[in-house]
Chain A
Amino acid sequence: MYARQVGDRELTFDFAEGLWNNNLLIVDRETDSVWSQLHGKAIIGPMEGEPLTIIPSVQATWKFWKERHPDTRVMVLPDVEGRPYYYRNRPTGQSSPKKPKTEHDLSVLGFGLTIHDEALWVPLEELHGLESPVELTLGGQSIRLFHDADAMTAWAEDTDGELLSGVLAYREGWHDFFPKSRGLE
């Protein structure tokens, strides 16, 4: 998840069709620059080369999240005649947006994290076989990898308990960006 503030400018991002290096492209309304989601940088346009600031987030089941954060709010989409409005918004003749994945292959879905140019990617399947948290050093920093198989989640904290900016990512997408990424061994 990224902050929308870049320098002194607040940007509004839209979805762009097409993938770059197996990863999502987004375009801001203010400058029409094209950004790579996983790269976190503008790759075309007036903002080219500008980095986005990461806001650490956790992917988990709704049950897990609301039990940890009882005061949480959760996004809803207004329905029109039982359909999310987005379907109405697409030009006719275009295919529907892709459906959410309902099943995940835990051997190719993993937890990825980079610290000081050192990248780590661990399949959830492997992580779930270990006791949580797993302690290790990455980029010279001591970190703890937490995971919960029932909640289909993993996240990393530093030794002060601060959430780090890891993501759940598929093996192929992650390694396209971080080919030198290492595993737990």
Chain B
Amino acid sequence: MKTTAFLLFLMTSTLAAQERTVRGVMQPRPGAPAEDVEVAVHPVPVDPPSVSAAESTLPDDDLVLGVVVDGKAMAYPIRFLALTEIVDDRVGDTPLAPSW
């Protein structure tokens, strides 16, 4: 059951997007001449699962990024955000992207 749920999560999130490369022109920093750049893009989790505070095993001293939207509170452990830098989630009706 757990495996099925996990496979479903993978199929509906990261497998929908591919590792890819995006090309463009940008300044490496303000004032510097523009350069051709190629950026490697890695898919990140979409709609990651969550648990209640009572169900969580996260250590008390772990850092989280917390948000309250539409009266709903949500916490994103920095240790998870640091793995993928950013995730795509939804709190209430609001689509949001916590990042680290």
| Residues of chain A at the chain B interface (Cβ within 8 Å) | 1-5, 10, 12-18, 20-21, 24-27, 29, 32, 34, 37, 43-45, 55-63, 65-66, 69-78, 80, 84-86, 89-91, 97-101, 152, 163, 176
**Contact present for B83 and A58 (CB under 8 Å):** no
Interface of A is mostly: mixed
**A62, A63, A69, A89: residue with the most chain B Cβ atoms closer than 10 Å:** A62
Q: Are B37 and A18 in contact, CB atoms less than 8 angstroms apart?
A: yes
Q: Considering only CB atoms, which chain B residue lies closest to A3 in the complex? A: B96
A15 CA / B46 CA spacing, docked (Å)? 12
Is B95 touching A3 in the complex (CB atoms < 8 A)? yes
Residue B51 contacts which of A59, A73, A91, A98 (CB distance < 8 angstroms)?
A: A73
Complex CA gap A84/B29 in Å reads 34
Interface size on B, residues (CB 8 A): 67
Question: Would A12 and B88 count as touching, CB distance under 8 A?
Answer: yes
Min Cβ gap A53→B in Å is: 9
Interface residues of B in 40-80 (CB under 8 A from A): 40-46, 48-53, 56, 58-69, 72-80
Chain B 75-100 interface 0/1 with A at a Cβ cutoff of 8 Å (1 = within)? 11111101111111100001111111
Residues of B within 8 A of A152 (CB): 63
> Is B39 among interface residues, defined by CB-CB distance under 8 A?
yes
How distant is B11 from chain A, measured CB to nearest CB, in Å? Answer: 12
Residue A72 contacts which of B66, B82, B85, B95 (CB distance < 8 angstroms)? B66
| Shortest beta-carbon contacts, A-B, top 6 | A44-B24, A69-B73, A100-B82, A72-B73, A63-B60, A4-B95
Contacts A/B (CB < 8 Å), 20 sampled: A13-B44, A14-B41, A27-B22, A34-B26, A34-B39, A57-B66, A59-B66, A61-B62, A61-B63, A62-B61, A62-B75, A71-B52, A72-B66, A72-B75, A73-B75, A74-B76, A75-B87, A78-B49, A90-B42, A98-B82
